[in-house]
Structure 1
Amino acid sequence: MILEHTIRSLQFKFQAGTSRGVMTEHPVCFIKISLLDHQEYGLGEAAPLPKLSEETLDEVLAFLPRLQEMIKSVELPKSTEEVYTLCRRLVPQELPSLVFALETALLDLLYGGKRQLFNNEFFQEKKDIPINGLIWMGDADFMREQVDRKIAAGFKCIKLKVGAIDFDAELDLIQYIREKAPKTIIRVDANGGFPSNEVFARLSELEKYDVHSIEQPIMPGQLEAMQLICKRSPIPIALDEELIGYHETSRRLELLKMIHPQFIILKPTLIGGLQATMDWIKVAQNLGIGWWLTSALESNIGLNAIAQFAGEFPDNGYQGLGTGQLYSNNVVSPLEINGEFLGYNQSVNWEKVLFN
């Protein structure tokens, strides 16, 4: 097989605020895998996030020449499981976004290079995926404007980033959502932004608004503190960044048994790809822990892979897969957001990504 790559700097349509700062662009690496003397090819995307992912984009690029050499002598796997096994053999686990990219490209090629990874009802246009409406941080007017648009579009689950601006202002926005749409499911994501000495007071305030759950209230790595929070919190806790860096099933089991959150948030780019995501799901289910999938600011190439994977679990509630509209130069794709649903429109052609 032949592996090629190219870089695209995805440009945000607005300043995307999180508790870790403001993003205006996101450089990502697209990979293309093809067979000798064949026109079909598979696409994948490695899109590590600065200050969050285990690896940097430079580290991904530094490993690619070695991967290109290794893959020259490898035959295309014949099944999904063989793809996963090959990817674990070829790419270090410390490069989780590249594992995800390689899995995606090989599954795509396995299915004939049609950007299909799974043959399920989502890809067949028979069942769309319900998604949450994400509200980005900004001033009060900007955030209320986003809320109004999401409610008008029909979103029944709204996710709000908290922890970076004045907490009282964030509570005012949650109250605004409750007044505008009383039955809306409200999820909040602190991205580790709550001070440890204020976390229980803030959780108690959030409880007043019937918040569904909060993602990562404190920074990861504080295992005993997080265990106590999950045990005593008046609202359900979802682990997100806490999952990064756990590459063995035994360590994943140990983490979840110790902390025992109510939910985990699964981002294939950050945790090591689709096979790793499946492993987390099995561990969580055995412990009675809920889960949902979330994209991590990938282009539509990465989002397509996560959405098709989500299509394997058609009744798992609201997923965090609505980021495809963030960029002015995203890859044109059949992915479409209709109201609170992400769908796949077979009549729309994929943009042909150019590789040098």
Structure 2
Amino acid sequence: MAIFDAPFVTDTFINMPLKISTRPYTLNFKKQAGTSRGVLTEKNIHFIRVEDTELPGVYGYGECGPLPGLSVDDRPDFADQLKAVCDDFNAMDLEVFPFNLPIILNQVIPEELPSVRFGIETALLDIMNGGRRVVYDNAFSKGEKGILMNGLIWMGPFEDMLTQAHEKLEAGYTTIKMKIGAIDFDQECALLEKIRARYSPEQITLRVDANGAFDEATVFERLERLSAYDIHSIEQPIKSGQPELMHRVCDSSPVPVALDEELIGIFDYRKKFDLLKKVKPPFIILKPSLLGGFQQTAEWIEIAGRLGIDWWVTSALESNVGLNAIAQFTAQYGNGLPQGLGTGQLYTNNIDASLVVRKGHLYSDLSTSWGAIF
């Protein structure tokens, strides 16, 4: 099903001007999250609430939270920019319907604020579906079907990463994604060797994510070494913005390459097409909150389909509000590859949600109530 074919619930008809309000919130990690860009202990976000004054108690929620060092809108004045967008929205006395949602997103929210587009789009879709945290009405949001996921191993000391790997395997994951590029590469290879010595490629699929950690002098040799461990794919082996080198890497790598950061900051349809046609990656990784929301992500999916490129969706450290929306969007497509949606259990103070993980699958458990957002 194409994303814009998604049915909207019509028992709540939005026919009065909508108002947006926001609430800042700090998510605290249960344990330090190591990435190639540093160690994270918290993430600052803003919740978005959309309401129609004629429908008291009915709210649509979203979230926007730039990822430090990666998001286009990771900027010191982000809160001021968000407030300006919300003030403009409120001053326009806007009503929203499926047909004018793209117009609102494109005309009211600057493309250089992708996480704001993501948050407001989520909230508008939510309120159009009755304010029930249903962004897309499908088998996942109805609790009828789960989404296969990869288990994520964060960067850290060797023994800690090995422990994480065993925990993910014991939890029923059949695909493991390991962050690499922060500790000694020989140690990372040793960890992969230990996993592969115990589990065959038929038992466990291994993915790695370099987050651009390799350079032209090291990338080809390291890809060759990684190929010894039957790696499914490597995400972003070199830094983004080097299309010629990335094409060479994709063309010659013994490990299939997936573009990730390479997609961030590209909003024009033609530029998206040109990038994928030139680089020709086997896979692309889609993070809706970094790409500018679901309409922008749907364009990447459509182009990838035209060019024979596979894809999967990954969350980007959102709270359960954003993760729930991303999961429902992902479920629209029925993509059989393991998705990167396992970040909902990272925080000590996440919003209580109907999301549960069972045997490496994410489910919407409708017997579980959502907690207060604001």
TM-score, structure 2 as length reference: 0.92
**1:45 lines up with 2:69 in the alignment:** no
Q: Distance in 2 between matches of 1:338 and 1:65?
A: 39
Could you tell me which of 125, 137, 142 is aligned with 2:160? Answer: 142
CA RMSD of aligned residues (A): 1.2
State the match for 2:38 in structure 1: 21
1:177 aligned residue: 195
Match of 2:96 in 1: 77
Structure 1 match to 2:365 = 345
Corresponding letter in the other structure for 1:337? V
Give the corresponding residue for 2:83.
Answer: 65
Q: Secondary structure at the match of 1:325?
A: coil
Preserved contact between residue 44 and residue 103 of structure 1 (Cα < 8 Å): yes
SS in 2 for 1:107: helix
The range that moved more, 259-268 or 63-72, is 63-72
Which secondary structure state, in structure 1, belongs to the residue aligned with residue 53 of structure 2? coil
Question: Following the alignment from structure 1 to structure 2, what is the Cα–Cα distance between the partners of residues 20 and 69?
Answer: 34
The one-letter amino acid of 2:22's match is H
CA contact (8 A) 1:47 1:57 kept: no
- Do 1:76 and 1:110's aligned partners in 2 also have CA atoms closer than 8 Å? no
Aligned-pair CA distance for 1:229: 0.4
Q: Is the contact made by 2:136 and 2:328 (CA closer than 8 Å) also made in structure 1?
A: yes
Q: Which residue of 2 aligns with 1:245?
A: 265
Ranges in structure 2 where 5+ consecutive residues have no aligned partner = 1-17
Could you tell me which residue of structure 2 aligns to residue 4 of structure 1?
Answer: 21
By how many angstroms is 1:58 displaced?
4.2
Letter in 2 for 1:241: E
Q: Deviations over 1:183-236 (max 9, x none)?
A: 211010000011320101100011111100000001111111111101111111
CA contact (8 A) 1:188 1:214 kept: yes
Deviation (angstroms), 1:260: 0.7
Rounded to whole Å, the distance in 2 between the matches of 1:337 and 1:157 is: 14
Contact persistence 2:213–2:238 (CA under 8 A) = yes
SS of structure 2 residue aligned to 1:323:
coil
1:210: which partner in 2?
230
Which residue of the other structure, out of 123, 126, 133, is the alignment partner of 1:108? 126
**5+ unaligned residues in a row in structure 1: which ranges?**
none
Letter in 1 for 2:136: F
Say which SS state the counterpart of residue 241 (structure 2) adopts.
coil
Structure 1 residue identity aligned to 2:256: P
2-side partners of 1:315 and 1:218: how far apart?
26
CA distance in 2, matches of 1:58, 1:78: 33
* Residue equivalent to 1:157: 175
Offset of residue 178 of structure 1: 1.1
Task: Report the alpha carbon displacement of residue 33 of structure 1 after superposing the two structures with TM.
Answer: 0.6
**How many residue pairs end up in the alignment?**
353
CA-CA distance at 1:57 after TM superposition: 5.8
Secondary structure of 1:197's aligned partner: coil
SS of residue in 2 equivalent to 1:94: coil
Is the 1:28–1:47 Cα contact (8 Å) retained in structure 2? Answer: yes
* Mapped pair 1:292 → 2:292: no
Aligned 8 A contact 2:354 2:370 in 1: yes
The counterpart of 2:302, out of the listed 275, 282, 288, is 282
- Distance in 2 between the 1:218 and 1:64 partners? 32
1:314 corresponding residue in structure 2: 334
Paired residue type of 1:128: G
What does residue 33 of structure 1 align with? 50
Show the counterpart of 2:274: 254
Letter in 1 for 2:118: F
Conservation of the 8 A alpha-carbon contact between 1:76 and 1:106: no
